[in-house]
Structure 1
Amino acid sequence: MSDTQTLIENRPPSVANLFAERVLATPDAEAFRYPVPPASGQGPEEWKSLSWGETAERVYCIAAGLIAIGVRAEDRVALLSATRIEWILADLGVMCTGGATTTVYPSTNAEESAYILADSGSRVLVAEDATQLAKVRERRGELSELSHVVVIDPTGVEADESDPEGWVLSLADLEERGARHLQEHPEAVKERIGAIEADQLATLIYTSGTTGRPKGVRLPHDNWSYMAKAIAATGLVTQDDVQYLWLPLAHVFGKVLTSGQIEVGHVTAVDGRIDKIIENLSVVQPTYMAAVPRIFEKVYNGVATKARAGGAAKYKIFQWAAAVARDYAKASQDNFRRTGTASAPLALRAKHKVADALVYAKLREAFGGRLRAAISGSAALSPEIGFFFAGAGIHILEGYGLTESSAASLVNPGEAYRTGTVGKPLPGTEVRIADDGEILLRGPGIMEGYHGLPEKTEEVLEPDGWLHTGDIGELSADGYLRITDRKKDLIKTSNGKYIAPTEVEIQFKAICPFVSNIVVIGADRNFCTALIALDEPTLLSWAEGHDLAGKPYGDVLVAPATVELIQGYVNRLNEGLQRWQMVKKFRLLPRDLDVEHGDLTPSLKLKRPAVEREFQHLIEEMYSGTREA
């Protein structure tokens, strides 16, 4: 048995055990960094640190406080908050009680928040602030099992006469209760951790779902313990790394990163504010970070737009440098596949050196200057954008997994990564392709099932442990997986041709710097069309130099010059497509697609049925009275 197999198979029953081991091993090492407002109330934010020992003090007080208010093993404690240090502390506190965390996105409305809390049977809610508290106060009649609400930031929280006595308390209050409980019962948390069994429920994550009510995915403690060990076994991260964590921790992708960190013992800088990402990168200077493709698309389009705004000469330099980056990355990866060495031909290396000085070095600096690699997941990244960043020295390692598989099932293996694939299975995980092309997964990270939905569980989970992912893919001879589309998203035209819309959409994102989102339509139609949402700042920047300066976005959007601009990119897209895949018509959407309007899930996945329903009039307009071959 290999050392890796031994580590994974002899894993402890929970991340709570791993956390206790980490604290004992490196109590004085830095664990977390997080931003706080300046003491004076003016000037830049300050970043504070917690050592593993200091983290444990707070975590164990939270755990003891939860025990003091009646939380038992497998009791659900819901977390309704944006990504922040307190989210992680509270989640670890819940795990150390042997309880189970129910995650809720902060953007979830009052009705759906109440549904999740009721369906999960959550007994305690940790809410971020007065805004989140208001959601549960509004629906309290539906939440008979909810005995306490713990508010992280009590600013603005006012007493409500209808609240049961002691129903609302602050996180500081909970920690104080916990400290008193530990004085009286010093072994309370240690005993709870020691009593955790591998198959106990640790987390209920409700899939944001592209249709219907969310389903609660039951993930036992062993799933996270396995993930922690398997991530460490990949060797992708080390104890010397600094991770920048901004992803929603309510999402399985964000959650799994904390498990890996505890096992490896590196530093994580935590701040979930999306509008602070660029600013934070220069402060944190991470060595690795995880993101969704939309972030890389926005960075790429932003760089292209800035170059275009600098005049024709600067834009030509950028276009040349982008082409060199892609050629360099492709050559390097091809050579590594053949020889085990990532190198490019001499002439291409010379071009790359010049492009690096002109373009790439500035791009790397924008990411903090120390980024070794970025992990991309949750959706497909355009290979052309991936190759661009790879050639610029920002190595994007795509990975793959589902909520139902604890997020990380496959990932690209470091230096041997291949852009356009999601890599190889983590140690201990198996993958195979079904006869119809569907990807199946099996391993210790697979869920127990859907909460209270045995029939739904049977639909996706075979008795022998194979999980039906609903994704279509291909495996290379040496084990690299490529995702081609969602099984349910495949379009069959009225001519009987199958089209993978995601494949067309990511190609368009790679060539059009103005696009924010695109939805390809064509099911049961005789040709394909598209709904295209543009990036407002990028389009307005372009408008400045095209006789549209100063006009509002709505006017720029419908201007003939704008339609002509996008038509040019659609024509370029069609040049690389089969005839039946071509986008024959398109409409520009009056606004971007977003979570607030229900177009995207909180993890930024496209909700196709919702978009098609809202913009049905535009779709019918494209097909009305027209036949296209």
Structure 2
Amino acid sequence: MISNATRLFDVLMPGNIEKLPEKLLCYKKNGEWTYYTPTKTRDLAFGLASYFISEKYNQGSTAEEKSKIGLICFSRPNWLVVDFAAQLTGALLVPLYPNISASEIIHIFNETEIKICFVGNMELYNLLESLKPEIPTLKRVYVFDDPTPENNWENIVHPFTPEVESKVSQNAKEIGEDDIATIIYTSGTTGMPKGVMLTHKNILSNVIMASQEVFSKFHLKQNKSLSFLPLNHILEKMLMYVYLYNEFSVSFAENIEKVAQNLQEVKPYVFVTVPRLLEKVYEKILQKGQELTGWKKNLFFWSIKLANQYDISGNNPFLYKLKLFIADKLIYSKWRAALGGNVQAIVVGGAACQQRLIKIFGAAKIVILEGYGLTETSPVIAVNRYENEDRKLGTVGRILKGVQVKFLEDGEILCKGDNVMKGYYKRPNETEEALADGWFHTGDIGEMENGFLKITDRKKEFLKTSGGKYVAPQPIENKLKENFLIEQIMLVGDSQKFVSALIVPNFPSLKEWASKHNIPFNNNQDLIKLPQVIEQYQAIIDKYNPSFNHVEQIKKFTLIADEWTVESGDLTPSVKMKRKVITKKYADLIAKFYEEKILV
């Protein structure tokens, strides 16, 4: 592990760069896997930094004065090159999701006064060009995949020479650990995104502790990983540095649709994901199981039932372990093969992970490391570790070393440590509120359970019934999503007598269910109106309701024909529900829940 660094770009400096693997950053080009060596990565980063310095992007002492460099691109080696180049310069990288809306681009670019931006393809280039009249500071846009020389980013990269190395190295000496490395915008679940200012120390402190407490415990045959989450997602960005500082080879997936294929090709030992993608993997496993017949189908679902009983802490009796051994030989080994055959650990963050998935993958010898944190905390506050005794189901793990946590009377989690942000860009009042008394107020509600942190809900997402009772929607929603017929669900009922739900069915599973029961249908709209379908979902609600307190129980629901997506504006780019947007969109349906009085 590289341990003598105080700034993120120190991994490329003499004494460290020699430790990195030859095939450092791998990617596909013209259908074939190729790679950037550590030297090529360094040469491009220094060459681009040299250009930035020549354009005076290295000037300014405050966050407002420093130059901002935009980056809108799916993860790839060039993303890291621009990141390193900005750091070496002292400019502030402002990376955005490639699927971000035009209105958010305009807001962020104008707030940060971005002058230059790098994009992945001509589609994004043309979008930015069309928005230039509304972004007066934006002067230059360069493209990674532009076939014409005029806008291709390589034309501004200075060749790596001793003079370039000396100039950039001298500039880098002026950059300290407390200098801001990047401004990452939050996903905007409660309004317009806010720019989180993170320093080298913020991110690097998380990198070092995650390396020591989590990655050092892995027993991998090879340090090989696959990256497919956007690198402007703070979890993926921080763990990318964990990979580099632990001398991993990193392969970048071609796109989200080709992750399954790329897993087969790369055969990584570890990767990072959000729970939704893990759910989709499990849904495909179940789908294949449903297609089996006879004893093979019975064996498959026996193995599922067995996996559901798995104790992730390792306290499994001998007879159970024997059954697990048989199931592994016959069933679970095929699941691992579908993920490339080598995956030993999957780091999960960004949202709550279903407990059954943690148990099922754990039974299949794939350890799910669920953690918790925010962009403002760089991000990890707590994480379940690799060792059995340091994992606890239903929690987000032990607090990371170097991070302090305490709770307010209402259960809100407060955090302090080197990982806590410098503040929100150009938002002093919100910064002061978030960092009151020197502690970062997470807005999440939680508790400690035998040394493990447990998240119960978002403080701002509580529903308060007209009877004055508070309802935490997330645990209820997560529980109901365990049913194979429910894709998405959002509880409503703020200031109302009772709780109701908007439910998006898992349509592939629902259609299969309808076919098995000889229920004819034409399309999604017809399907959700059928009495048999509504009865089935009522049965699901009736099954789960006894698990909740009376005030938490769902009294009414309606089925939604269209999935909530980023493109539809219902989800943030990090796939979190925009509750206010969804509530407004379905205001008429929600109103119908409360038109007539019912006994509660």
Q: Quick check: TM above 0.5?
A: yes
1:97 to 86, 89, 96: 89
Q: 2: distance between equivalents of 1:628 and 1:608?
A: 27
Shift of 1:106: 1.0
Q: Helix, strand or coil for the counterpart of 1:530?
A: strand
Is structure 2 residue 38 aligned with structure 1 residue 46?
no
Contact 1:291 1:376 in 2 (8 A): yes
Shift of 1:358: 3.5
Tell me the residue number matched to 2:174.
195
Is structure 2 residue 457 aligned with structure 1 residue 457?
no
Q: 2: distance between equivalents of 1:351 and 1:577?
A: 33
Is structure 2 residue 195 aligned with structure 1 residue 216?
yes
Tell me the residue number matched to 1:69.
55
Is structure 2 residue 179 aligned with structure 1 residue 179?
no
AA at the equivalent of 1:563? I
Q: 2: distance between equivalents of 1:355 and 1:455?
A: 57
Q: 2: distance between equivalents of 1:192 and 1:537?
A: 56
AA at the equivalent of 1:230? M
Q: 2: distance between equivalents of 1:245 and 1:109?
A: 24
Contact 2:21 2:249 in 1 (8 A): no
Shift of 1:71: 1.9
2:18 to 14, 25, 28: 25
Q: 2: distance between equivalents of 1:143 and 1:221?
A: 29
Q: 2: distance between equivalents of 1:293 and 1:111?
A: 28
Distance 1:211 1:24, change over 3 A: closer
Contact 1:80 1:103 in 2 (8 A): yes
Matches within 5 A, 1:40-439: 45-73=31-59, 74-155=66-147, 169-175=151-157, 178-179=158-159, 182=161, 185-237=164-216, 240-271=222-253, 273-311=255-293, 316-328=298-310, 330=311, 333=313, 342-415=314-387, 416-439=390-413
AA at the equivalent of 2:454? R
Moved more, 242-251 or 231-240: 231-240
Unaligned runs of 5+ in 1: 38-44, 159-167, 334-341
Distance 1:550 1:241, change over 3 A: farther
Q: 2: distance between equivalents of 1:458 and 1:346?
A: 55
Q: What do the CA deviations read for 1:594-629 (whole angstroms, capped 9, x no partner)?
A: 111221111111111111111112212222213230
Contact 1:356 1:392 in 2 (8 A): yes
Tell me the residue number matched to 1:473.
446
Distance 1:55 1:362, change over 3 A: same
Q: Helix, strand or coil for the counterpart of 1:150?
A: strand
Q: 2: distance between equivalents of 1:490 and 1:434?
A: 16
Q: 2: distance between equivalents of 1:489 and 1:575?
A: 23
Q: What do the CA deviations read for 1:71-112 (whole angstroms, capped 9, x no partner)?
A: 215421110112222212211221122221101111112222
Moved more, 68-77 or 466-475: 68-77
AA at the equivalent of 2:449? S
Q: Helix, strand or coil for the counterpart of 1:169?
A: coil
Shift of 1:269: 0.9
Shift of 1:201: 1.6
Q: 1: distance between equivalents of 2:316 and 2:156?
A: 58
Q: 1: distance between equivalents of 2:306 and 2:433?
A: 47
Contact 1:13 1:196 in 2 (8 A): no
Shift of 1:346: 1.8
Identity, in percent, stands at 31
AA at the equivalent of 1:417? R
Contact 1:305 1:513 in 2 (8 A): no
Q: 2: distance between equivalents of 1:557 and 1:317?
A: 32
Is structure 2 residue 438 aligned with structure 1 residue 443?
no
Contact 2:47 2:164 in 1 (8 A): no
Q: Helix, strand or coil for the counterpart of 2:50?
A: helix
Tell me the residue number matched to 1:574.
545
Contact 2:524 2:561 in 1 (8 A): no
TM-score, structure 1 normalization:
0.89
Contact 1:22 1:265 in 2 (8 A): no
AA at the equivalent of 2:468? G
Distance 1:498 1:317, change over 3 A: farther
Q: 1: distance between equivalents of 2:14 and 2:532?
A: 62
Moved more, 316-325 or 611-620: 316-325
Unaligned runs of 5+ in 2: 60-65
Contact 2:20 2:248 in 1 (8 A): no
Shift of 1:541: 3.4
Contact 1:16 1:193 in 2 (8 A): no
Contact 1:495 1:526 in 2 (8 A): yes
Q: 2: distance between equivalents of 1:323 and 1:146?
A: 57
Q: 2: distance between equivalents of 1:524 and 1:387?
A: 37
AA at the equivalent of 2:569? G
Shift of 1:13: 3.3
Number of residues of Structure 1 aligned to a counterpart in Structure 2: 589
Contact 1:22 1:263 in 2 (8 A): no
AA at the equivalent of 1:125? C
Q: 1: distance between equivalents of 2:416 and 2:531?
A: 52
Q: 2: distance between equivalents of 1:203 and 1:300?
A: 35
Q: Helix, strand or coil for the counterpart of 1:414?
A: coil
Shift of 1:381: 0.9
Shift of 1:412: 1.2
Q: Helix, strand or coil for the counterpart of 2:309?
A: helix
Moved more, 230-239 or 185-194: 230-239
AA at the equivalent of 2:372? Y
Distance 1:543 1:241, change over 3 A: farther
Shift of 1:236: 1.8
Q: Helix, strand or coil for the counterpart of 1:187?
A: helix
Tell me the residue number matched to 2:557.
586
Distance 1:365 1:452, change over 3 A: same
Q: What do the CA deviations read for 1:182-226 (whole angstroms, capped 9, x no partner)?
A: 465441221222221122221011112112221111111221222
Q: 1: distance between equivalents of 2:295 and 2:205?
A: 52
TM-score, structure 2 normalization:
0.93
Shift of 1:23: 4.7
Q: What do the CA deviations read for 1:251-273 (whole angstroms, capped 9, x no partner)?
A: 21121112212211111111261
Contact 1:252 1:407 in 2 (8 A): yes
Q: Helix, strand or coil for the counterpart of 2:596?
A: coil
Shift of 1:21: 4.9
Contact 2:10 2:16 in 1 (8 A): no
Q: Helix, strand or coil for the counterpart of 2:25?
A: strand
